[in-house]
Amino acid sequence: MPAETVDENTGTATAAEWSSLRHVQIIGTVERAYGVRLSAREARACRSVGALRDTLRTRGVAV
């Protein structure tokens, strides 16, 4: 999906492109990019861009 259409609310409930497979890919990409490892619970809770950013902030990552 085009980057300009993504906002804090983009996620599993609002974007058909955000499938379960895509979710795993997103989490893996974010972990590599920011040098963090999310727990399974954290990864499951990141159901939107905003939730993912909030989780990264709790880990001390500036996003």
Long-range contacts of 10-18 (CB under 8 A, 24+ apart): 10/48, 10/49, 11/47, 11/48, 11/49, 11/50, 11/51, 12/47, 12/48, 13/47, 13/48, 14/48
Residue 4, in any domain of the structure: no
Domain count, the chain: 1
Does residue 9 belong to any structural domain of this protein?
no
What global pTM score does this model have? 0.88
The answer to whether residue 5 sits within a structural domain is no
In a domain, 12, yes or no: no
Query: Average pLDDT for residues 46-63, to the nearest whole number?
Result: 95
Residue 12: band (very low, low, confident or very high) from pLDDT cuts 50, 70, 90: very high
At 21-35, the pLDDT tens digits run 999 999 999 999 999
State the residue range of the domain holding 30. 17-59
In a domain, 2, yes or no: no
Is 3 a domain residue? no
3-state secondary structure of 62: coil
Q: Does residue 7 sit within a domain?
A: no
